[in-house]
Amino acid sequence: MNLPDAEVLCQELARRLRLGVTHSTGLVGIRTGGAWLAERLHRELGLATPLGTLDISFYRDDFDTAGLHHQVKPSQIPFEVNDAHIVVVDDVLYTGRTVRAAMNELFDYGRPGRIELAVLVDRGERQLPIAAQYVGATLAVPQGKLLRLARDEQGKFSLRLSDARPPDAKPAA
Q: What is the pLDDT of residue 69?
A: 53
Residue 26 pLDDT exceeds 50: yes
Nearest to 77 by CA among 132, 27, 116: 27
For residue 115, count other CB atoms closer than 10 A to its CB. Answer: 19
Q: What is the pLDDT of residues 92-146, one digit of tens each?
A: 999 999 999 999 999 999 999 999 999 999 999 999 999 999 999 999 999 999 9
Average pLDDT rounded to a whole number, residues 34-56 = 96
* pLDDT for 67 beyond 90: no
pTM for the model stands at: 0.89
Main-chain phi, psi angles of 27, to 5 degrees: -105, 130
- Asked if residue 58 has pLDDT above 90, the reply is no
pLDDT of residue 66: 47
> What integer pLDDT is reported at residue 109 of this predicted model?
96
Strands (E), the chain: 26-30, 52-54, 85-93, 114-122, 134-138, 145-151, 157-163
Whether the pLDDT of residue 64 is over 50: the answer is no
Report which DSSP code applies to 1: -
Q: Where are the alpha helices (DSSP H) in 20-131?
A: 33-45, 63-66, 97-107
Q: Compute the mean pLDDT over every residue in the chain, rounded to the nearest whole number.
A: 90
End-to-end CA distance of the chain: 32
* 150-170 pLDDT per residue, tens: 999 999 999 999 998 755 555
Q: Is the pLDDT of residue 173 over 50?
A: no
Q: Is 44 exposed, middle or buried (0-12, 13-18, 19+ CB in 10 A)?
A: middle
